[in-house]
Amino acid sequence: MKIVSYNVNGIRAALNKGFIEWLLAVNPDVVCLQEIKAMEEQLDLSLFTQAGYHHNYWFSAQKKGYSGVAILSKKRPDHIEIGTGIDYMDFEGRNLRADFNGVSVMSLYLPSGTNLARLDHKLTYMADFHKYIDTLKKSHPNLIICGDYNICHEAIDIHDPVRNKNVSGFLPVEREWIGNFIDSGFIDSFRHFNKDPHNYTWWSYRANARNNNKGWRLDYAMVSKPLESRLKRSVILSEAKHSDHCPILVEID
């Protein structure tokens, strides 16, 4: 199973930048999208079905043009779980899960902490999400949680760890949370295969950051420990430029 995760920063904008042609070239089995910024009825779904993704599921935020996640799949999932059942999370369309033959794939869009109010919201979300996953793992042990976590875990994951140490996305409390989340039974699949620096998934649109590779690694495919022996590869697809993020890919047997 080849899974791609991509914060598209607006699916309609990405479609206008050649997203479908790119998707056909990469040819994943399952695609997790974040920050779709659209309602399902605003999209021409035939674009996805013609590309082979006959099963596509959209979970939009209640607020138009904001947040939202989706899962596109070639094969019909055994089950789709929309949201977490935690209302304040689900209002913003941040979690969608598809189950395939004993493996559950989640598209996650964790909030950013752009100001104090949103940082409090993010920290609450992080705590509640971890509890939710601890419970979910009991019934669905084979979990792959793909998406934009809006956190850099280690200094190696950000271009300037010193100057960004007090910026949301690299705060000690956020880094501690993602470390604890991994330690609770997950594998950061990219780091499982690649320990090299200068590998990022998001770049500011300012100051020519992408061309200078001044980025942050905010996007992860977290794979639960029971799937460790089935991990084949996990890579960052930095050549794709439909967004301020780039996609990531994880493959399991």
Distance, CA of 168 to CA of 132 (rounded, Å): 23
Q: What is the CA radius of gyration of the chain?
A: 17
Known catalytic residue at 148: yes
Distance, CA of 242 to CA of 15 (rounded, Å): 8
The residue annotated as part of the active site, out of 29, 78, 120, 148, is 148
Which positions ≥6 away from 152 have C-beta within 8 Å? Answer: 158, 169, 170, 175, 216, 217, 218
Residue 122 — φ and ψ, nearest 5°? -65, -45
Distance, CA of 94 to CA of 88 (rounded, Å): 10
Beta-sheet pairing, 103-109 with 79-82: unpaired
3-state secondary structure of 29: coil
Q: Tokens 């752009």, residue?
A: 114
Q: Tokens 């501690």, residue?
A: 176
Residue 18 — φ and ψ, nearest 5°? 90, 25
Residues classed as catalytic: 148
